[in-house]
Amino acid sequence: MSPITLIENVFAATVDLERREIDSATVVIDGSRIAAVLLAGEQNPWRTLPDVERVDGRGCLLTPGLVNTHHHLYQWITRGLAADHTLFEWLTALYPVWEGIDADSVHVAAQGALSWLALSGCTTTTDHHYVFPSRAGDLLEAEIEAAREVGLRFDPTRGSMDLGQSAGGLPPDSLVESIDTALEATVAAIARWHDPAPGSMLRIGVAPCSPFSVTAELLRQSALLAREHGVRLHTHLAETVDETDYCAAHFGCSPLEYMEELGWLGADVWFAHGIHFDDAAIARLASTGTGIAHCPTSNGRLGAGIARTRELVAAGVPVGLGVDGAASNESGRLLEEAHQALLLARATGGPMALSTRTALELATLGGARLLGRDGEIGSIEFGKCADLVLWNMSTLGHSGIEDPVAALVLGEVPPVKCSWVGGRRVVSDGEMLTVDTDRIAAAVQAAHHGLMSRVR
């Protein structure tokens, strides 16, 4: 018999089709799935079964697990560098540091970043790894193993760069690959790791880095490869004015027009950042179902601009949230992105630009949609994966706020009383159950110092 958990007496923000918010609900986890969402007083046949685990949710808010749609896990060991740089300056400063990463340091970095995501309510994350120094080992395997250890649902993307400085690109030549090498490695990653089964814990995407670090041919071939293998496409786009100027100078068009020419629009595509889109571009994104990973904290950290979230959502563009790499968002807590997304949208568009409920939806169901997982995760509904977060809202920072969703989105990140990924408990009372975070913190410190000693 599958293990059964009852989360009782809880305020549940379901983010389901009716966007129900249920006071004093009972949510039933049966194995890896949600078996029921019961109202107060509704008959509960699971309650009398033997060996049922009962979790008292009084004073708590239950939400779907948060979904992170853009990250660079390896950057967890290079936080705090180039703190006052623009994006292009920041990349130029950090590429020489990233040349020194290897499988061991990436594994440690991923453990740290993934654990921190879990402690801030994330249950599913992607990763965009595009830096592959020669003789560094299997970096994708290193982060996949870290995700397995931490216990998060993981959708990493195999990135690539083939446009080095000698050919007019931004990255140093030592960090770029040939087109054949990048494509062959991507096919191998899909064959080895990708699991398309419903409720899969691991899916692979295809993710050349950006228009200024990848040739048109690699972008075009990557799109064909992804569709041939039935996986999703991801890259950075429209992040800075510098990028817009680069595309105008090199391609004679906007970033989105360039990507459309190369076959990069569609419901299987999501772009990171998407800050500098005009009305026509937003309409084109909406009509093609192309998604945007909104990364407000990183955008602010790099001074890149403010995405037009209100207009994107109003047009029907799929929008999720991402923390981005920890070297441009040292906090790395996904719930903070919902908070920042709301504040920035209202700062530019007024108090009705983005509601607290929409911000929560972007962090849950919106992110699931970008990853093609909205039929599996992102809401609290019968039959979906039991990816859930129970937030303790009785702390000093939240007590007395009558609306628990407003308290969650507008207030400090609350402690996670419990979180489950596929019915497996990952966090309990603000502590990781799957890994030793003190050991990881020490390993992160050592990996950072070791990496920096190689570049000084």
Residue-wise pLDDT for 276-291, tens only, equals: 999 999 999 999 999 9
Tokens of 280: 């026509």
Summarised one tens digit per residue, pLDDT across range 224-240 is 999 999 999 999 999 99
340-348 long-range contacts (CB < 8 A, ≥24 apart) are 340/296, 340/297, 340/300, 341/294, 341/296, 341/309, 342/409, 342/410, 344/296, 344/300, 344/306, 344/307, 344/309, 345/309, 345/310, 347/306, 348/306, 348/310
Summarised one tens digit per residue, pLDDT across range 395-436 is 999 999 999 999 999 999 999 999 999 999 999 999 999 999
> Is residue 404 packed enough to be buried (19+ CB in 10 Å), middle (13-18) or exposed (0-12)?
buried
At residue 406, the pLDDT reads: 97
Instruction: Give CA–CA dist 219/207, Å, rounded.
Output: 9
Taking residue 130's Cβ as centre, other Cβ atoms within 10 Å add up to 25
Higher-pLDDT residue of 30 and 88 is 30
257-263 long-range contacts (CB < 8 A, ≥24 apart) are 258/211, 259/211, 259/219, 259/235, 260/284, 262/216, 262/219, 262/220, 262/223, 263/220, 263/223, 263/224
Higher-pLDDT residue of 48 and 381 is 381
At residue 88, the pLDDT reads: 86
Summarised one tens digit per residue, pLDDT across range 92-122 is 889 999 999 999 999 999 999 999 999 999 9
Averaged over 377-394, what is the pLDDT? Answer: 98
Instruction: Give CA–CA dist 93/428, Å, rounded.
Output: 39
Residue 233 β-bridge partners? 206, 269
Q: Provide the pLDDT confidence category of residue 91 given band limits of 50, 70 and 90.
A: confident
Which domains does the chain possess?
4-64+380-432 (2.30.40.10), 66-370 (3.20.20.140)
pTM for the full predicted model = 0.97
Query: 342: which residues sit within 8 A by CB, 6+ positions away?
Result: 354, 355, 356, 358, 359, 409, 410
Q: Provide the pLDDT confidence category of residue 274 given band limits of 50, 70 and 90.
A: very high
